[in-house]
């Protein structure tokens, strides 16, 4: 009897009401919203009892054109901020503000300063608020900022081509070599790929942390890093499952080829960050640094082609199909460097650089997981024997040595 009662279907009256269910779901949020609205609208005695607000203003970009300095600033404080005066090298100057000199919280404004600056001289631009707070932005070496036109787009495109696309495509030429080595050597190079990628991921996180320390606390740089890493890991894991599950079953593209594409995507996101750095170096007048970065990244990125081609070095493809895949893999991995130089040169943003570097780091960590999973299917030891351990160490060492050329 008890068993019969247990198996009885619920009556119509016991079925949950979807509208009532959702109402209970959003009820706490609605109540909190009403309370917060009342606090802000009516006000409470402790509001504004601590004296004047602490103001914060961040200089995000300074560009130099003939007879003019332009600065993009962001209000990162908790209240509206009014710019009252502007000085250049301790001398007050005329200026205009767009859209207005009253900047709402987290909004930006553009300061346009008519000023005859001198090439290669340092400049300090100081904005003074209506309550006397001062905020400074610096130009270490004054030089003409690039403007969007056919010539500068062409120059940045060539830079991205030489930094990203060419070295990655050259690195793909290692495929014939990897296809002929024995199993232990092949395992060494797969492990070396893991070392290369691990270095790239750690390097991207380090760069992200440096940027995070330089932006205003209100923008929560560390939180953006965490978001970028985990978002890219989860999205690329889902994409990898779909790619390896559907393409390998329904077409001639193997799971190893799908993995190579995942590696290209991860490296492409990282190269986008490199392009941002190079474009920003030219925008800030650090042309010498930009030249060193180009040479260094070309040497550095040659090894990225090896990381991409390692999983597919033993795949059986027709020459025509293989070449088309290799070209596409190279463009996916290297092409973002071109876009990065455009953005870095014309509209560089620390927040954008931080976010893309962290997304790239998460993507690379996910790819490392996929490579490890692929290797463990044939060898449970994976990295614990000599070829695996030496491969990881060699990958880290190669990236460290080539990274010295980037530092210049």
321-369 pLDDT, tens digit per residue, is 888 888 898 899 889 989 988 888 787 777 877 888 888 888 888 888 8
Based on the fold, state whether residues 352 and 226 are members of the same structural domain.
yes
Query: Tell me, what's the pLDDT at 293?
Result: 61
**Confidence band, pLDDT 50/70/90 cuts, at residue 52:** low
Average confidence score pLDDT of the chain: 80
Based on the fold, state whether residues 175 and 197 are members of the same structural domain.
yes
Based on the fold, state whether residues 252 and 397 are members of the same structural domain.
yes
Specify if 122 maps to a domain: yes
Specify if 49 maps to a domain: no
Query: Tell me, what's the pLDDT at 103?
Result: 94
Q: Are 329 and 261 in contact (CB under 8 A)?
A: yes
Q: Are 338 and 165 in contact (CB under 8 A)?
A: yes
Query: Tell me, what's the pLDDT at 46?
Result: 53
Residues 105-149 have pLDDT tens digits of: 888 999 999 999 998 889 999 999 999 999 999 888 787 777 778
Q: Give the structural domain span for 366.
A: 150-407
Number of structural domains the chain divides into: 3
In sequence order, the 6+-apart residues with CB closer than 8 A to the CB of 149 are none
Specify if 47 maps to a domain: no
Specify if 50 maps to a domain: no
Based on the fold, state whether residues 162 and 88 are members of the same structural domain.
no
Lowest mean pLDDT among 17-21, 198-202, 243-247, 360-364: 243-247
Based on the fold, state whether residues 121 and 202 are members of the same structural domain.
no
Q: Where are the beta strands (DSSP E) in 12-133?
A: 57-65, 68-75, 81-88, 91-92, 96-98, 102-103, 108-114, 123-129
Beta strands at 108-114 and 91-92: parallel, antiparallel or unpaired: unpaired
Q: Does 255 have pLDDT greater than 70? A: yes
Could you tell me what percentage of the chain is helix, strand and coil, using 3-state DSSP and rounding each to the nearest 5? 65, 15, 25
Based on the fold, state whether residues 162 and 273 are members of the same structural domain.
yes
Based on the fold, state whether residues 128 and 261 are members of the same structural domain.
no
Question: Can you tell me the distance from the alpha carbon of 190 to that of 188, in angstroms, rounded to the nearest whole number?
Answer: 6
Question: Can you tell me the distance from the alpha carbon of 112 to that of 72, in angstroms, rounded to the nearest whole number?
Answer: 9
Assign 10 to helix, strand or coil: coil
How large a percentage of the chain has pLDDT more than 90?
Answer: 15
Torsion of CA 213, 217, 222, 228, to 10 degrees: -110
Residue 83's CATH number: 2.60.40.1890
**Confidence band, pLDDT 50/70/90 cuts, at residue 252:** very low
Q: Does 55 have pLDDT greater than 70? A: yes
**Is the pLDDT higher at 219 or at 30?**
30
Assign 87 to helix, strand or coil: strand
**Confidence band, pLDDT 50/70/90 cuts, at residue 45:** low
Based on the fold, state whether residues 38 and 86 are members of the same structural domain.
no
Specify if 144 maps to a domain: no
Based on the fold, state whether residues 29 and 68 are members of the same structural domain.
no
Assign 102 to helix, strand or coil: strand
Assign 69 to helix, strand or coil: strand
247-253: long-range contacts, CB 8 A cutoff, minimum separation 24: 252/317, 252/321
Based on the fold, state whether residues 70 and 213 are members of the same structural domain.
no
Based on the fold, state whether residues 230 and 337 are members of the same structural domain.
yes
318, exposed or middle or buried, with CB in 10 Å at 0-12, 13-18, 19+?
A: exposed
**96: β partners:** 112
Assign 316 to helix, strand or coil: coil
Residue 352 tokens, joined: 């954008």
Q: Does 197 have pLDDT greater than 80? A: yes
């Amino acid at each position: 009897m008890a068993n019969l009662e247990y198996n009885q279907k619920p009556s119509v009256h016991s079925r949950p009401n979807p509208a009532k269910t959702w109402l209970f779901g959003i009820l706490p949020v609605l109540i909190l919203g009403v309370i917060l609205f009342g606090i802000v609208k009516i006000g409470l005695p402790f509001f504004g009892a601590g004296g004047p607000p602490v103001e914060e203003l961040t200089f995000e970009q300074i560009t130099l054109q003939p007879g003019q300095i332009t600065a993009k600033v962001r209000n990162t404080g908790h209240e509206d901020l009014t710019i009252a005066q502007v000085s250049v090298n301790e001398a007050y100057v005329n200026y205009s503000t767009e859209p207005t000199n009253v900047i709402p919280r987290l909004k930006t404004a553009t300061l346009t300063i008519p000023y005859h600056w001198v090439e290669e001289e340092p400049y300090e631009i100081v904005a003074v608020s209506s309550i006397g707070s001062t905020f400074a932005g610096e130009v270490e070496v004054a030089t003409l900022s690039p403007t969007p036109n056919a010539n500068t787009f062409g120059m940045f495109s060539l830079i991205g081509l030489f930094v990203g696309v060419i070295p990655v495509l050259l690195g793909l030429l290692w495929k014939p070599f990897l296809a002929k080595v024995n199993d232990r050597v092949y395992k060494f190079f797969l492990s070396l790929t893991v070392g290369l990628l691990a270095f790239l991921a750690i390097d991207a996180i380090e760069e992200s942390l440096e940027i995070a320390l330089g932006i205003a606390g209100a923008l929560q740089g560390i939180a953006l890093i965490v978001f970028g890493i985990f978002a890219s890991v989860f999205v690329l894991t889902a994409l990898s499952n779909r790619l390896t599950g559907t393409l390998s079953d329904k077409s001639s593209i193997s799971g190893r080829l799908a993995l190579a594409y995942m590696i290209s995507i991860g490296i492409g996101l990282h190269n986008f960050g490199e392009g941002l750095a190079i474009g920003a170096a030219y925008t800030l007048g650090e042309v010498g640094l930009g030249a060193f970065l180009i040479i260094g990244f070309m040497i550095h990125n040659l090894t990225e082609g090896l990381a991409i081609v390692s999983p597919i070095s033993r795949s059986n493809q027709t020459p025509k199909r293989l070449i088309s895949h290799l070209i596409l893999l190279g463009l996916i991995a290297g092409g973002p460097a071109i876009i990065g130089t455009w953005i870095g040169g014309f509209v560089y943003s620390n927040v954008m650089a931080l976010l893309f570097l962290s997304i790239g780091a998460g993507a690379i960590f996910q790819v490392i997981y996929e490579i490890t999973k692929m290797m463990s299917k044939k060898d449970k030891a994976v990295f614990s024997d000599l070829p695996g351990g030496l491969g990881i160490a060699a990958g880290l060492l190669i990236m460290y040595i080539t990274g010295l050329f980037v530092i210049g």
